[in-house]
């Protein structure tokens, strides 16, 4: 008997910056890693580049208009949660238009980059936060 292959998902992650703050969103309780904070983004569809997927997801999730051409690649991290594996392709989003709000009912907020350690994120995000801080230093 062979095991069912583990689901692997490519996720576009946005570090949306506003001065010394970054946008975070709280995952709905019913989702994988629910109740934890995350950086907005989502699944990359088959025929999308990561920046195009991220621009689409930012519009769908938090109502921000962004230009994929202005995004800056930060890091890519593979992480295995046991029940699923993800590749978090993470981008700096320096420019955006609109006021973010949770279009899917999720809480969103601007947080000082220095205060990110005060929020509970999925385990994979620890390295993303380190990469963001290193990029900005």
User: Which residues are 18's β-sheet partners?
Assistant: 21
**Position 68 confidence tier, pLDDT thresholds 50, 70, 90:** very high
85-94: per-residue pLDDT in tens?
889 999 999 9
**Position 3 confidence tier, pLDDT thresholds 50, 70, 90:** low
Count CA within 13 A, CB hemisphere, residue 60: 10
Separation CA 121–CA 65 (nearest Å): 25
In the chain the domains, ranked by start, together with CATH numbers, are 15-136 (3.90.79.10)
E strands present in the chain: 7-18, 21-26, 37-38, 41-43, 72-80, 84-93, 108-112
Separation CA 120–CA 131 (nearest Å): 17
36-52: per-residue pLDDT in tens?
999 999 999 999 999 99
**Position 1 confidence tier, pLDDT thresholds 50, 70, 90:** low
């Amino acid at each position: 008997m062979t095991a069912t292959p583990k689901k692997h998902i490519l996720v576009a992650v946005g570090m949306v910056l506003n001065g010394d703050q970054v946008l975070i969103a709280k995952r709905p309780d019913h989702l994988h890693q629910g109740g934890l904070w995350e950086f907005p983004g989502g699944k990359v569809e088959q025929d999308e580049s990561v920046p195009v997927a991220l621009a689409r997801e930012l519009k769908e999730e938090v109502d921000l208009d962004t230009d994929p051409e202005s995004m800056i690649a930060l890091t890519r991290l593979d992480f295995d949660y046991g029940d699923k594996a993800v590749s978090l392709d993470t981008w700096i989003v320096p420019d955006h238009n609109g006021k973010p709000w949770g279009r899917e009912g999720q809480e969103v907020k601007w947080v000082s980059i220095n205060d990110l350690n005060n929020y509970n994120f999925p385990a994979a995000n620890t390295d993303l936060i380190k990469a963001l801080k290193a990029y900005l230093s």
